[in-house]
Amino acid sequence: QVQLVQSGAEVKKPGASVKVSCTASGYTFTGYYLHWVRQAPGQGLEWMGVINPGESSTRYAQKFQGRVTVTRDTSTSTVYAELSSLTSEDTAVYYCAREPGGVPAGDKNFDYWGQGTLVTVSS
Amino acid sequence: QSALTQPRSVSGSPGQSVTISCTGTSSDVGGYNSVSWYQQHPGKAPKLMIYDVSKRPSGVPDRFSGSKSGNTASLTISGLQAEDEADYYCCSYAGSRGYVFGTGTKVTVL
């Protein structure tokens, strides 16, 4: 069965960086896009970016351009999202989510989600 | 990248129907048939309920249905049940902008 397992909660100081991981299993890792979506406390969902694990190509939301980097390690079926120059507004739960349908077309939705990783930014 | 507009809350009694709207622009909702809906219970990850405007994934009850007209998509829950009480988010593919989510709607079962 498809599973996305994320790394544990993080506490960071303003100005620091954080790197969250998402390990996939139960399907061909390189065959499906993986996205990152975040949710600030009491707020809505916000799309951050996507990676094609097969080619390592990425696309980011304009809001996060220059501050987020998504990478992958095919040997461990893991994708990473690193966010730099953290502020208190980056305090949120970060989710990875799979896009069904397979590369390159994709199905433009998110069928499986990780359990979420809480990142707290506080001095 | 503005969020899609949803009502903050809707409510209904068990057995009734509720409809949640999701308004965007011709660059997202109106431009693509790639609108999806997600259910989120407190402290849980979102769950896909509707994709491609009106398709249901396997295992989602047929009480959930979706539609779209112009720049507005809608999710209808018929025969409301207690377990449907949750937050619901729409999402649209937006081309070069990637994806945009709605503001979210809290569904309360009275």
Inform me whether the pLDDT recorded for A97 exceeds 90.
yes
Q: What are the tens digits of pLDDT across the range A4-44?
A: 999 999 999 999 999 999 999 999 999 999 999 999 999 99
* pLDDT value, residue A87: 98
- Distance from the B106 Cα atom to the nearest Cα atom in chain A, whole angstroms: 11
Q: Count of CB atoms within 10 A of residue B18's CB? A: 19
Q: Between the CA of residue A16 and those of A21, A39, A85, B53, what are the distances in Å?
A: 17, 19, 6, 40
User: Could A47 and B101 be called an inter-chain contact, meaning their C-beta atoms sit closer than 8 Å?
Assistant: yes
Of A47, A107, A114, the CB nearest to B99: A47
Q: Would you state the structure tokens that stand for residue B61, as one six-digit string?
A: 């009850």
User: Could B101 and A108 be called an inter-chain contact, meaning their C-beta atoms sit closer than 8 Å?
Assistant: no
Inform me whether the pLDDT recorded for A101 exceeds 90.
no
Q: In what order do the strands lie in the sheet with B72-77?
A: B18-23, B72-77, B64-69
Q: What are the tens digits of pLDDT across the range B99-110?
A: 999 999 999 999
Q: Is B60 helix (H, G, I), strand (E, B) or coil?
A: coil
**B36: chain A residues, CB-CB within 8 Å:** 108-110
Which of B77, B24, B34, B39 shows the shortest CA–CA distance to B55?
B34
* pLDDT value, residue B1: 62
Q: What are the tens digits of pLDDT across the range A111-121?
A: 999 999 999 99
DSSP E strands: which ranges in B1-110?
A: 9-12, 18-23, 35-40, 47-50, 64-69, 72-77, 86-93, 99-101, 105-109
Q: How confident is the model at residue A103 (pLDDT cuts 50, 70, 90)?
A: confident
**B8: chain A residues, CB-CB within 8 Å:** none
- Distance from the A17 Cα atom to the nearest Cα atom in chain B, whole angstroms: 24
